[in-house]
Amino acid sequence: MKTMILYASNYGFTADCAAELKKNLHGETRLVNINSDKIPALNDYDTVLVGGSIYIGQINKKIKKYCLAHLDELQNKNLGFFISCGSPETIEDYFKNSFPETLLEKALCLENFGGEMRPDKMKFFHKFVSNMVEKSAQKDDTPAMRPLPEHIIRMANTINNHS
């Protein structure tokens, strides 16, 4: 089985999650950061896992655009989708807004890998918004954003069981 993990990562959390996912998958796996790497042809892969972080309710535009542009090719693959998001109560909406419905219906798994603030790497606007979100969560007594490594393992197990 050959797998491609196509992802977008702005500040490194999603890249770290994608790398951890790769470590837990059987077979040959290639990591591709849509922001910096050349994207290989899909016909070289049996399985394609696609994901990215959610900022201000949206996934990276390049990920969304790629899925739409390669809709027909992706429908013929084993698929999985993941997001990095610290707001688990709106996960279903984030998946629906991020990926084409026909691909979500075909996916073997949809996972949220959680989130982690990395303000030292953030641009000013994201740092500002993140501070607002964090203050709002504290005020509303919402659970703190945290990584969900068990979801990475669950996704890897699902994919490994379908190879």
Q: Is the pLDDT of residue 26 over 90?
A: yes
Domain encompassing residue 81? 2-118+146-161
Query: How confident is the model over 74-132, as pLDDT tens digits?
Result: 999 999 999 998 777 789 999 999 999 999 999 999 999 997 765 566 676 566 566 55
Query: How confident is the model over 37-52, as pLDDT tens digits?
Result: 999 999 999 999 999 9
Give CA angle at 161 (39, 101), nearest 5°.
55
Q: What's the whole-model pTM score?
A: 0.86
- Mean per-residue pLDDT for 13-42? 97
Name the token pair of 38. Answer: 């050349």
pLDDT class for 57, splitting at 50, 70, 90?
confident
Q: Is the pLDDT of residue 55 over 60?
A: yes
Residue 140 counted as domain residue: no
Residue 90 counted as domain residue: yes
Distance of CA 104 to the CA centre of its chain: 13
Torsion sign (Cα): 117, 120, 124, 128:
positive
In the chain, how many domains are there?
1
Residue 98: CB atoms within 10 Å: 22
Residue 56 Rama label (left phi>0; alpha psi -120 to 50; beta): left
Residue 97 counted as domain residue: yes
Residue 134 counted as domain residue: no
Query: How confident is the model over 68-90, as pLDDT tens digits?
Result: 999 999 999 999 999 998 777 78
Residue 132 counted as domain residue: no
Residue 131 counted as domain residue: no
Taking the CA atoms of the chain, what radius of gyration do you get in angstroms? Answer: 15
* Domain CATH for 6: 3.40.50.360
